[in-house]
Amino acid sequence: MDWTSAKVAIEAKAAPLHPRIRPDDFHHTILISPRHNYLYANVPKVACTTIRKLLIDAEFGEVRPYSERMDTLHFNEFLPFLNVWQVGDLPRYLRQRRPFLFCFVRNPYTRMLSAYLDKIVGREGERNIILRQLGRFHQPDYEITFADFVDTVCATPVTY
């Protein structure tokens, strides 16, 4: 079976996991550790980088210094975990291995404020995306209010 056929087969089996999220989206949000038999579901703006670093340290059995940019921890291809494509039929894997499933959540109000401060106040590139969605891309000096940001987030379809 070639890669495309395998991917289509996996997508068909994973489709019931969530009606609006594609299996490709799971690739970026799920870390699977066969060594410690757990599945971690990453939730953005909930200490993701710190949690990933701790999980990597646990995989290697030692605390490892990270002199390189911490952003590299978000490239799953370079991490010591399996992804949903590598386990094949994810629902079957979950039934057979019965891994410990976990994620961390955060108060939605503080999470939204954190996203606003990080993505809008702190980053020009992310700010431009919101300006485009507000129809104000040609007004680079427009001050995006927290209310603008909340309205834009609420109007955005659910995806990763």
Question: pLDDT (tens digit, 0 to 9) for every residue of the chain, 160 residues total?
Answer: 455 555 555 555 555 555 656 666 666 788 899 999 999 988 877 888 888 888 988 888 877 766 555 667 777 777 888 887 788 788 888 899 999 999 998 888 888 898 888 878 877 667 777 788 777 877 777 888 899 888 888 887 765 4
Distance CA 40, CA 107 (A): 19
Looking at the structure, do residues 97 and 50 belong to the same domain, yes or no?
yes
What is the CA angle 7-160-31, rounded to 5?
A: 65
Distance CA 1, CA 3 (A): 7
Distance CA 74, CA 142 (A): 31
Domain that holds residue 144: 108-155
Looking at the structure, do residues 8 and 83 belong to the same domain, yes or no?
yes
Looking at the structure, do residues 96 and 123 belong to the same domain, yes or no?
no
What's the whole-model pTM score? Answer: 0.66
Number of domains in the chain: 2
Looking at the structure, do residues 120 and 59 belong to the same domain, yes or no?
no
3-class DSSP state of 73:
helix
